[in-house]
Amino acid sequence: MTEQNSLYDRVFGTLVERRDRILSGKINCIPWGLPRFEEELPGIEKGKYYLLSANSKVGNYKFDIRYLRMSVLPS
C-alpha cells in the first residue's frame, strides 16, 4: 500500500509542478516555432509517438484506423 501512495504522490507532485510552470508563464514542451500554430498546440510534450509510413497505394490509411481502434481508442 505504501508503494501505491508513493506512486500517487509522485504523479500528483508532477501534475502540480506542471500546473505551476504553466501559471508562471513557462511551458512544458518543446515549442514548434510557428506562432499561429502554437496558439492551439504549444509544442511537443514528452511521451510516446508512433510514426507509420509507407509508399503510396499500399493501404496504410486502413491500417492506421484499425491500429488506432485496437490500441489507442477506448472501446
pLDDT tens digit string along 34-61?
A: 889 888 888 888 777 777 677 777 666 6
Asked if the model's pLDDT at residue 20 lies above 90, the reply is yes
Closest CA to 64 of 48, 53, 55: 53
Average pLDDT in the chain: 77
Q: Which of 7-16, 35-44, 55-64, 66-75 has the highest mean pLDDT?
A: 7-16
pLDDT of residue 24: 93
What backbone phi and psi angles, to 5 degrees, belong to 68?
A: -65, -40
Asked if the model's pLDDT at residue 16 lies above 70, the reply is yes
Closest CA to 44 of 21, 28, 68: 28
Enumerate the domain spans of the chain.
Answer: 2-71
Q: Which helix (H) or strand (E) segment is 22 a member of? A: helix 2-23
Confirm whether pTM is higher than 0.85.
no
N- to C-terminal Cα separation, the chain: 30
C-alpha cell at position 21: 510552470
